[in-house]
Structure 1
Amino acid sequence: MGKKVKKESNSPYKETFESNLNVVIKTPATAVLLLRSPEEDILIKACELIYTFADKGDESKVSLLGLGALEPLCQLITHNSKLVRRNAFIALGTMATNGDVKVALSKTDVIPLIIDKLSLEDDAVIHEFATLCLASLSVSFTSKAQVFDNNGLPPLVKLLSSPDPDVKKNSLEVIFNLVQDFHSCLAIRELGAIRPLLELLNSDFPVIQHLALKILQNITTDKDTQIAFREEHGFDRVIDMLNNMRFRDLHADAVQVVANCLCDDESVQLIHKDGGLIRLMGFLLTPSTPEIQSSAVKCIARVAHSSEGCSVLHEQNVEKVLVELLCVEDVTVKTSACQAVAAMSFHLASKDRFRDLGGIPVVVQSLSSECAALREEATQALSSLTFKNKPSVFAVFEVGGHEILIQRLCESCSRTVAKAAATLCNMAQYEVIRCSILSHGAVPALVEPLKSTDTQVLVNTTLCLGVLLCETGAMTEFKRAGGLQPLVSLLQSNHKEVLHNTCFAVNVFASDKPSAVEICKYGAVEMLQDINQSVNRRSSLSKLTLVNLLNTNLSLKYNVTGLLAATDIISDGFYDAGKADAGHRVLTLEELSEQPVNHCRPIIVINTTEKKTEVDRQEHKTKTESPADKMWNMIDVPLQSLIQKVKESILPLHEKEQYTALARLVSEVMGDAVEKEKLHGFPWVSHLNELKFQLQSNIIPIGSINKGFYCHRALLFKCLADCIGMSCTLVRGEYNRAWNEVLLFEGNPQPCRYIVDLMHEPGRLLAAGTAAAVAYQTI
Structure 2
Amino acid sequence: MGKKVKKESETPCKETFEPLPVEGKTPATVVLLLSSPEEDILIKACEAIHAFAEKGDENRVSLLGLGALEPLCQLITHNNKLVKRNAFMALGIMATNGDVKNALKKLDVIPSIIGKLSLEVDFVSKVQIFDNKGLPPLIQLLSSPDPDVKKNSLEIIFNLVQDHQSRLAVHELGGIPPLLELLNSDFPVIQHLVLKTLHCVTIDKDTCNTFREEHGVERLMDILNNTVLVELLTVADVSVKTTTCQAMSFHTASKDSYRDLGGIPAVVQLLHSDSLVLREAATQALSSLTHGNQLNSFAVYEAGGHEILVQQLCESCPGMAANSAATLGNMAGQEVIRCSILSHGAIQALVQPLKSTNTHVLVNTTQCLAMLACDMEARAELKSAGGLQPLVNLLQSYHKDVLHNACLAINVCAIDEATTVEMCKFGALEMLQEINQSVNRRSNYSKLAMISLLNSNLSVKYSLTGCLASTDIISAGFYDAGKAQAGQRILTLEELSKQPVNQHRPIIVVNTAVVNTAAKETVDMPEERLSNPSETDTSRDRRTPRRRKKDDKQKDETRPESPIEKPWKMMDDVSLQLLVKEAKEFILPLSDEREQYAALARLVSEAMGGAVEMEKLHEFPWVLHLSELKFQLQSNVIPIGLIGRGIYYHRALLFKCLVDCIGMSCTLVRGEYNRAWNEVLLFIENASSHGRSSQPCRYIVDLMHQPGRLLAANTPAAEQYQTI
TM-score band w.r.t. shorter chain: 0.5 to 0.7
Shift of 1:318: 4.4
1:767 maps onto 2:705 in alignment:
no
1:758 maps to amino acid: L
Shift of 1:701: 1.1
Paired with 1:414 and 1:725, the residues of 2 have a C-alpha distance of: 52
SS of 2:672's equivalent? coil
1:337 maps onto 2:244 in alignment:
yes
Partner of 1:649: 586
Shift of 1:681: 2.9
SS of 1:409's equivalent? helix
Shift of 1:693: 0.5
Paired with 1:427 and 1:631, the residues of 2 have a C-alpha distance of: 41
Shift of 1:539: 3.5
Shift of 1:739: 0.9
2:679 maps to amino acid: E
Structure 1 pair 643/513, CA: closer, same or farther in 2 (3 Å)? same
Shift of 1:603: 0.9
Partner of 1:671: 609
Q: How does 1:127-146 map to 2 (within 5 A)?
A: none
Structure 1 pair 405/643, CA: closer, same or farther in 2 (3 Å)? closer
Shift of 1:312: 1.6
Shift of 1:373: 2.1
Shift of 1:646: 2.4
Partner of 2:388: 484
Partner of 1:616: none
Shift of 1:319: 4.7
Q: Deviations over 1:710-759 (max 9, x none)?
A: 11111111112222233211111112111111222122322221212222
Shift of 1:630: 9.7
1:763 maps to amino acid: G
Paired with 2:567 and 2:318, the residues of 1 have a C-alpha distance of: 50
Paired with 1:476 and 1:305, the residues of 2 have a C-alpha distance of: 51
Q: Deviations over 1:635-693 (max 9, x none)?
A: 21222222222233332332222222222222222222223333333221111111100
Structure 1 pair 489/405, CA: closer, same or farther in 2 (3 Å)? same
SS of 1:393's equivalent? helix
1:307 maps to amino acid: H
Shift of 1:304: 12
2:247 maps to amino acid: A
Q: Is the contact made by 2:494 and 2:568 (CA closer than 8 Å) also made in structure 1?
A: no
Paired with 1:476 and 1:572, the residues of 2 have a C-alpha distance of: 19
Paired with 1:575 and 1:525, the residues of 2 have a C-alpha distance of: 17
Shift of 1:517: 2.2
SS of 1:750's equivalent? coil
Q: How does 1:16-415 map to 2 (within 5 A)?
A: 273=202, 307-315=215-223, 317-344=224-251, 346-348=252-254, 351-415=255-319
Give 1:749's match in structure 2, choosing from 694, 698, 717: 694
Structure 1 pair 445/329, CA: closer, same or farther in 2 (3 Å)? same
Shift of 1:340: 1.6
Partner of 2:574: 637
SS of 2:272's equivalent? coil
1:567 maps onto 2:471 in alignment:
yes
Q: How does 1:554-593 map to 2 (within 5 A)?
A: 554-593=458-497
Q: Is the contact made by 2:470 and 2:665 (CA closer than 8 Å) also made in structure 1?
A: yes
1:465 maps to amino acid: L
Give 1:513's match in structure 2, choosing from 388, 413, 417: 417
Q: How does 1:427-576 map to 2 (within 5 A)?
A: 427-576=331-480
1:715 maps onto 2:653 in alignment:
yes
SS of 1:700's equivalent? strand
SS of 2:431's equivalent? helix
SS of 1:446's equivalent? helix
1:749 maps to amino acid: S
Structure 1 pair 672/271, CA: closer, same or farther in 2 (3 Å)? farther
1:761 maps to amino acid: Q
Structure 1 pair 637/738, CA: closer, same or farther in 2 (3 Å)? same
Paired with 2:333 and 2:259, the residues of 1 have a C-alpha distance of: 19
Shift of 1:416: 1.8
Paired with 1:271 and 1:373, the residues of 2 have a C-alpha distance of: 41
TM-score by length of structure 1 reads 0.56
Shift of 1:697: 0.9
SS of 2:314's equivalent? coil
1:424 maps onto 2:321 in alignment:
no
Paired with 1:510 and 1:538, the residues of 2 have a C-alpha distance of: 19
Partner of 2:636: 698
Paired with 1:720 and 1:403, the residues of 2 have a C-alpha distance of: 50
Q: Is the contact made by 2:433 and 2:487 (CA closer than 8 Å) also made in structure 1?
A: no
Paired with 1:477 and 1:767, the residues of 2 have a C-alpha distance of: 49
Give 2:678's match in structure 1, choosing from 740, 744, 747: 740
Shift of 1:399: 2.4
1:579 maps to amino acid: K
> More displaced, 703-712 or 602-611?
602-611
Q: Deviations over 1:163-201 (max 9, x none)?
A: xxxxxxxxxxxxxxxxxxxxxxxxxxxxxxxxxxxxxxx
Unaligned stretches of 5+ in structure 1? 1-268, 277-302, 613-622
Structure 1 pair 753/355, CA: closer, same or farther in 2 (3 Å)? closer
Partner of 2:46: none
Shift of 1:560: 1.6
Q: Is the contact made by 2:515 and 2:574 (CA closer than 8 Å) also made in structure 1?
A: no
The alignment-based identity, stated in percent, is 65
